[in-house]
Amino acid sequence: MITKLVISDLKRMKETGEKIACLTSYDASFARLQDEAGIDVLLVGDSLGMVLHGDKSTRNVTMDDMIYHTRLVNNVRQRALVISDMPYQSYTSTELAVGNAKRLVNEGGADIVKLEGGEEISDIITAIKNIDIPVCGHLGLTPQSFSTSDGFKVQATTEDAAEKLKQDALLIQQAGCDCMVFECIPAEVAKEVTQALNIPTIGIGAGVDCDGQVLVLHDMLGITGKKFRFLKNFLKGNDSITDAIKTYISEVKNKSFPASEHFF
| SS3 state at 181 | strand
With CA atoms as reference, report the closest residue to 122 among 83, 176, 196: 176
| pLDDT of res. 33 | 98
Report CA 11 to chain centroid distance, whole Å: 15
Contact 128, 135 (CB under 8 A): yes
Domain parsing of the chain, residue ranges: 7-262
Tens digit of each residue's pLDDT, the chain (264 residues): 789 999 999 999 999 999 999 999 999 999 999 999 999 999 999 999 999 999 999 999 999 999 999 999 999 999 999 999 999 999 999 999 999 999 999 999 999 999 999 999 999 999 999 999 999 999 999 999 987 666 688 999 999 999 999 999 999 999 999 999 999 999 999 999 999 999 999 999 999 999 999 999 999 999 998 888 999 999 999 999 999 999 999 999 999 999 989 988
Determine the Cα–Cα distance for residues 67 and 106; give it in Å rounded to an integer: 9
What is the set of active-site residues?
A: 183
Determine the Cα–Cα distance for residues 84 and 220; give it in Å rounded to an integer: 19
With CA atoms as reference, report the closest residue to 199 among 13, 49, 25: 13
| pLDDT of res. 110 | 98
| pLDDT of res. 87 | 98
| pLDDT of res. 150 | 66
Instruction: Give the CATH architecture of domain 7-262.
Output: Alpha-Beta Barrel (3.20)
| SS3 state at 215 | strand
State phi, psi for 260 to the nearest 5 degrees: -60, -30
User: Does the pTM of the predicted model rise above 0.75?
Assistant: yes
With CA atoms as reference, report the closest residue to 119 among 160, 162, 175: 175
Q: What's the farthest any 2 CA atoms get from each other in the chain? A: 50
| pLDDT of res. 149 | 66
